[in-house]
Amino acid sequence: MKKALVVGATGGMGYALVHELLSRGIEVVAFSRGKEKLESLYKNLSNVTIFPGDALKQGELTRAANGVDVMFHSVSFPYPDWDETHLPCIDVMLDVARAKKAKIALVDNVYAYGRQNKQMVTEQMKKEPHTKKGKIRLEMESRLKESDVPTLIVHMPDLYGPNCGNTILHETLKYVVKNKKANFVGSKTVGREYLYNLDGAKAMVELALREETYNQNWNVPSTHPITGEELMTIIKDITGYKKAVRSVSTNMIRMIGIFSPFMREMVEMMYLTEQPVILSGEKYEKEINSLPRTPYREGIEATINWMREKETN
């Protein structure tokens, strides 16, 4: 891979992918709708071409994809827009990839797995999503697999890290950094996975560089499951934060959803805070290498430092 296109470059995984690709000497086209944010993130970096555009517009994506070997799909659409955006976006990316003879690497979540009773979920588990969003993600995967384009599908849990502004853990950290009363989404006693975005990018780029990894699913888990109570102990120790942290339940999200379309759409995914999908990384570690596993304390401290730096700039 000499040149890559990162679609959704201003998101948490897009940001991490751009930096990981650059660290390996790969030229990057950073594509996103927000020109101002693209420039704030990448204008001072060499080997990056900033390309503002809409991933739903084939002409714009086609121009951005000139000469690329791999197109990384890390686009995150707002929950209320999923019905009208995700599948058309996959179709556009497939058309462009065919025209440019490029591969596609999809940053995927765990929604397509649906409810799982197994302690560790492998890539071989049958996918029977019971939510609307899970069914959309499974259809995205199916369209990629049924195409004639080499595709890579990488499942990851909830993210945290630099520039991860639309994640569950960020909702807690942003108030801690401001020393305001913070919320924690879901029960603080259930062990869940949170993947440091820079670790996810390292694993994904490593997969994308290998020919034999395409047309497969891959899981990239976090360091290990951790409870909200354990996370808050780490966060308070790093920051000195002393305020109480409220757990936000499904019923609370449902009530807020009366007035907020985003929260209304979030209700169906709250099962993951009570019955989390815990990914197995056995396949990756057997066939590729050891997974990058940044300790939570190190990752959270780096994230908080990044957030504080952005606040002061």
Question: What average pLDDT does the chain have?
Answer: 95
Alpha-carbon torsion angle 111, 142, 11, 79, nearest 10: -50
What does the pLDDT read at residue 119?
81
What does the pLDDT read at residue 118?
74
Q: Which domains does the chain have, with CATH numbers?
A: 3-160+196-224+277-294 (3.40.50.720)
What does the pLDDT read at residue 263?
77
What does the pLDDT read at residue 311?
79
**Average pLDDT for runs of 10 along the chain of length 313:** 98 98 98 94 95 97 98 94 96 98 98 89 95 97 97 98 94 94 94 98 98 97 97 97 91 79 83 94 97 98 95 75
Tokens for 13, please give them: 């995984």
What does the pLDDT read at residue 258?
75
The predicted model scores a pTM of 0.96
